[in-house]
Amino acid sequence: MAAPADKDAKQMRQVAIVIAVAMLVWLAIQALGQQYEWAGKWAYLADLAAIGAFVWSLIVTWRIWRRRNV
């Protein structure tokens, strides 16, 4: 069984990967949308997906912080 610190480290790596991938995908979709003149609704959809990833990351990070400070 993994130690709590190992579990926290694994989750923080996962959070970092989600943030990085979400940002890169969001930037790519914005650039492609501008280049190919996609409808604005696709930009909003990409924005919503990125916001969802960032909110999830914030919640997981907050839970880890709370677990370490208790």
Per-residue pLDDT, averaged over 22-33, amounts to 97
Q: In degrees rounded to 5, what are phi and psi of residue 61?
A: -65, -40
Domain ranges of the chain: 38-70
pLDDT at 1 over 70: no
Residue 46 CB neighbours (<10 A): 20
Share above pLDDT 90 across residues of the chain, in percent, rounded to a whole number: 89
DSSP characters for the chain? ---HHHHHHHHHHHHHHHHHHHHHHHHHHHHHHHHTT--HHHHHHHHHHHHHHHHHHHHHHHHHHHHHT-
pLDDT computed for residue 14 by the predictor: 98
pLDDT at 42 over 70: yes
CA 20 to chain centre: 7
pTM, entire model? 0.89
Per the prediction, the chain carries an average pLDDT of: 95
pLDDT computed for residue 54 by the predictor: 98
